[in-house]
């Protein structure tokens, strides 16, 4: 059965449709609906011709490609035989075209320190860092794990890897030592790049300590490169393994050229949760991903020379990869990058930044928008946000209430909102309104971008009727699509390509309305979306059962006003009292195993877990219980599901 519990069930009517503001159409990449329709038509009728032109025009080629797309589902290669380099596309070509003085990164740290890097300066820093990587023994194909604060050096290390063909694997700096070690071992990382610490809500988090704990269990890692960010005293540096960034990077000359790389050279892997316990390393390659990130950035954000663009994501997630680093920098954009929390030192920090840097384009997540609503309009009203001309949303469906608030309070009712649907696997935005062209409906990601062919099918793989929910698949290849799961070809085929043969299975449910607009209705698998971050319920269950007091655990998502979904865990225990102390211990245990983002919001003790006759945990029932009832004051009460389970068995 497909699960439609996440369905956004809003009645659509004319007055909830927002027409595009006319002034957008003058300068946009697609300046009219007919141009966009034409691009979609061309991409579908002559896929190779369309992408050949796009790639030739928008990427730099050291050597031209001789075949546009080699497609034999699920295997795909784009721009076969060509040689390019993503770091070159992001930096050198702008410098060589005389745009080296243009600001690439405007950065602000949480304590208020600032930096500004032009494209020429960024190129020098990247080249120095790439030379340092080589000195540390890193070459093409080697995996570099990156566990860093949101400083310019995070973008620099990513681009430095790209410059020499090393594979970056960025790990969000909120993950635990266990999670870092798992990722290091799965990827066989040779180097870990980190910092002494990071600033978060006025505190310093000791990143290097966490990395040290991970390195004790990461036998493939030979070296650790450490940035001094917070000036923490007494950072333990292991002789022969650990080196300071300023000792090895600063002395380099900064003229290391970008290496011409085959189009299909792995650019990065990024771990994300799937429907099973172990996160998977999604693999993206150089040319196709680079082109997709760049063009989708230009199309969706209607990028213009004078823009100051701000994506509030962290580079630890795909949004940061595609829309802080590769997309905007390839397009020569000026990007704001911010290190810290949205509520430090006060709840107006984002709006302070928008006003101070005159941000024109803001790309953020519904979970952040809901937090701002909760914190109160006074924080927004203190600031002049009139520089904004375009707003974006990503990570989960934006509920119409949040959409309206974003539209009114942040966009002053005249900024289009682009609700962008995509995934780690898709590399870049797949469906989104185009500003100036698409009339928007709050809660819908509207229509696909050129070259994207979505299909909504039932379990037999047959297309569903209009307005009926079904599994969202993508029928044709696109340049930014994932190329595989690092080291696990079998899982790649099974997870994405075996349910509906020949089509990419997104894992989302969707429906298409009478205007052809798409509405994402939640996941079909055991993946939950907490504050826009993907987590597998099984991953959290595995963490729980690794605690000695836990016999069995079942984890489900329940609706949450701020996070979208919150994590509810039901556990059966042995040899311990089901009290608050154990509850705290188990939540801490998950935090230690995976990271703070996976810590259950509710944790209930159960005498038994409700199961079907075949022994499957009845998650639907637990979801109902988790969403419908408050946790009682008496924490020692054990939930007794045996009756319900029995009843269901008798049905």
Q: Is 397 one of the binding residues for ligand PRX (CB under 6 A)?
A: yes
Q: Least separation, in Å, of the C-beta of 419 and ligand PRX?
A: 5
Token code pair at residue 396: 């989960």
Q: Work out how close the CB of 249 gets to ligand PRX at its nearest, in angstroms, rounded to a whole number.
A: 30
- HSE, side-chain direction, 13 A CA sphere, residue 229: 31
Q: Is 445 in the site for ligand PRX (CB under 6 A)?
A: yes
Residue 507 or 600: which CB sits closer to ligand PRX?
507
Closest to ligand PRX by CB, 523 vs 589, is 523
**Interface region with ligand PRX, contact rule CB under 6 A, candidates 105-113, 167-175, 235-243, 392-400:** 392-400
To ligand PRX, the closest distance from the beta carbon of 481 in angstroms equals 13
CA–CA distance, 184 with 271 (Å, rounded to integer): 11
Contact present, 69 and 77 (Cβ < 8 Å): yes
> Could you tell me how far CA 296 lies from the centroid of its own chain?
15
**Binding residue for ligand PRX (CB under 6 A) from 183, 389, 441, 534?**
534
Contact 284, 267 (CB under 8 A): yes
What is the closest distance, in whole angstroms, from the C-beta atom of residue 110 to ligand PRX in the complex? 23
Contact predicate 262/78, CB 8 Å:
no
Kindly state the smallest distance separating residue 273's Cβ from ligand PRX, in Å: 8
Per CB under 6 A, the segment of 66-74, 342-350, 422-430, 584-592 that binds ligand PRX is: 422-430
DSSP 324: I
Measured from the CB atom, the residue of 286 and 319 that comes closer to ligand PRX is: 319
Distance CA 152, CA 420 (A): 25
Which residues in the 35-64 window bind ligand PRX by CB under 6 A?
none
Candidates 184, 252, 319, 608: give the one binding ligand PRX (CB under 6 A). Answer: 319
> Shortest approach of ligand PRX to residue 229 CB, angstroms?
26
Q: How far is the CB of 429 from ligand PRX (least distance, A)?
A: 8
210 token code pair: 């966490």
How far apart CA 394 and CA 340 sit, in angstroms, is 19
**CB–CB of 291/327 below 8 Å?**
no
- Determine contact, residues 41/30, Cβ cutoff 8 Å: no
As measured in angstroms, the least distance from the Cβ of 457 to ligand PRX is 16
Hey, which bits of 249-407 come out as E strands?
Answer: 261-262, 266-272, 280-285, 308-311, 334-338, 361-364, 390-394
Residue 486 CB, shortest distance to ligand PRX, in Å, is 15
Query: Which position among 288, 342, 507, 600 is part of the footprint of ligand PRX (CB under 6 A)?
Result: 507
Phi, psi of 554 (to 5 degrees): -130, 130
H or E segment and range at residue 50: helix 47-58
> 48-66 burial string, b = 16+ CB within 10 Å, else e?
eebbbebbeeebbbeeebe
**What is the rounded end-to-end Cα distance, in angstroms, of the chain?**
17
Pick 451 or 507: Cβ nearer ligand PRX: 507
Instruction: Using the rule CB under 6 A, give the single segment among 58-66, 135-143, 393-401, 597-605 that binds ligand PRX.
Output: 393-401
The closest of 327, 336, 374 to 152, measured between CA atoms, is 336
- List 520, 540, 597, 621, residue binding ligand PRX (CB under 6 A): 520
Report the C-alpha gap between 623 and 615 in whole angstroms: 17
Residue nearer to ligand PRX on the CB measure, 221 or 524 = 524
The C-alpha atoms of residue 451 and residue 436 are separated, in whole angstroms, by 20
Residue choice 118, 169, 360, 529 for contact with ligand PRX (CB under 6 A): 529
Does residue 608 bind ligand PRX (CB under 6 A)? no
Note whether 396 binds ligand PRX by CB under 6 A: yes
Please identify which residue in the block is written with the tokens 């698409």: 438
**Integer Cα distance of 366 and 399 in angstroms:** 8
Nearer Cβ to ligand PRX (25/432) = 432
Smallest distance from ligand PRX to CB 151, Å: 22
Residue with tokens 């994501």, as numbered in its chain: 313
From CA 295, how far away is CA 334, in angstroms rounded? 16
Q: Is 422 in the site for ligand PRX (CB under 6 A)?
A: yes
- From candidates 47, 223, 295, 523, binder to ligand PRX by CB under 6 A: 523
Q: Is 419 in the site for ligand PRX (CB under 6 A)?
A: yes
CB of 447 to ligand PRX, least distance (A): 13
The binding site for ligand PRX (CB under 6 A) comprises 272, 318-319, 394-397, 419-424, 445, 506-508, 520, 523, 529, 534
């Amino acid at each position: 059965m497909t699960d439609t519990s996440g369905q956004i069930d809003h009645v659509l009517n004319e007055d909830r449709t927002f027409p595009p503001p006319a002034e957008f159409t003058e300068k946009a990449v697609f300046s009219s609906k007919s141009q966009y329709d034409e691009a979609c038509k061309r991409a579908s009728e002559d896929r190779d011709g369309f992408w050949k032109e796009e790639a030739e025009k928008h990427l730099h080629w050291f050597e031209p490609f001789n075949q546009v797309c080699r497609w034999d589902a699920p295997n795909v290669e784009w721009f076969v035989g060509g040689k390019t380099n993503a770091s070159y596309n992001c930096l050198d070509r702008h410098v060589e075209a005389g745009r080296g003085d243009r600001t690439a990164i405007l950065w602000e740290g949480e304590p208020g320190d600032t930096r500004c890097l032009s494209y020429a300066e960024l190129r020098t820093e990247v080249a120095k860092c790439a030379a340092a990587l080589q000195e540390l023994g890193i070459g093409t194909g080697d995996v570099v794990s990156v566990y860093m604060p949101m400083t310019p050096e995070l973008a620099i290390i990513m681009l430095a890897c790209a410059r020499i063909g090393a594979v970056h694997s960025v790990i969000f700096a909120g993950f635990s030592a266990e999670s870092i070690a798992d990722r290091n071992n799965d990827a066989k990382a040779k180097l870990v790049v980190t910092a002494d610490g990071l600033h978060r809500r006025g505190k310093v988090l000791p990143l290097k300590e966490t990395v040290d704990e991970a390195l004790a269990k990461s036998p493939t890692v030979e070296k650790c490169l450490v940035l001094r960010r917070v000036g923490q005293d007494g950072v333990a540096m292991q002789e022969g393994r650990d080196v300071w960034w300023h000792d090895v990077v600063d002395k380099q000359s900064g003229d290391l050229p970008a290496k011409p790389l085959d189009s299909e050279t792995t650019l990065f892997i990024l771990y994300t949760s799937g429907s099973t316990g172990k996160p998977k390393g999604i693999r993206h390659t150089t040319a196709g991903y680079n082109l997709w990130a760049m063009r989708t950035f230009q199309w969706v954000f209607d990028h213009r020379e004078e823009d100051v663009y701000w994506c509030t994501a962290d580079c630890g997630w795909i949004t940061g990869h595609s829309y802080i680093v590769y997309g905007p920098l390839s397009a020569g954009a000026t990007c704001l990058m911010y290190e810290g929390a949205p509520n430090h030192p006060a709840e107006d920090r984002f709006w302070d930044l928008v006003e101070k840097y005159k941000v024109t384009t803001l790309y953020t997540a519904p979970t952040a928008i809901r937090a701002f609503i909760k914190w109160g309009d006074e924080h927004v009203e203190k600031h002049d946000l009139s520089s904004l001309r375009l707003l974006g949303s990503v990570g989960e469906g934006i509920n119409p209430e949040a959409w309206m608030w974003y539209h009114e309070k942040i966009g002053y009712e005249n900024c289009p909102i682009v609700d962008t649907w995509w995934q780690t696997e898709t590399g870049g935005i797949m469906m989104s309104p185009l500003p100036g062209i698409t009339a928007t409906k709050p809660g819908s990601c509207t229509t696909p971008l050129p070259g994207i062919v979505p299909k909504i099918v039932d379990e037999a793989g047959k297309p569903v009727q209009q307005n009926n929910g079904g599994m969202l698949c993508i029928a044709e290849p696109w340049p930014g699509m994932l190329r595989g799961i690092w080291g696990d070809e079998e899982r790649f085929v099974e997870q994405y390509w075996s349910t509906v043969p020949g089509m990419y299975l997104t894992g989302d449910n969707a429906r298409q309305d009478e205007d052809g607009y798409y509405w994402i209705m939640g996941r079909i698998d055991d993946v939950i979306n907490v504050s826009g971050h993907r987590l597998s319920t099984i991953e959290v269950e595995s963490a729980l059962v690794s605690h000695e007091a836990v016999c069995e655990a079942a984890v489900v998502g329940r609706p949450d006003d701020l996070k979208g979904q919150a994590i509810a865990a039901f556990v059966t225990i042995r040899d311990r009292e089901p009290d608050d102390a154990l509850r705290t211990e188990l939540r801490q245990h998950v935090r230690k195993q995976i990271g703070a983002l996976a810590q259950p919001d509710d944790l209930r003790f159960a005498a038994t877990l409700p199961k079907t006759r075949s022994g499957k945990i009845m998650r639907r029932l637990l979801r109902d219980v988790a969403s419908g009832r408050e946790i009682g004051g008496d924490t020692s009460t054990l939930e007794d599901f045996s009756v319900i389970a029995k009843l269901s068995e008798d049905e």
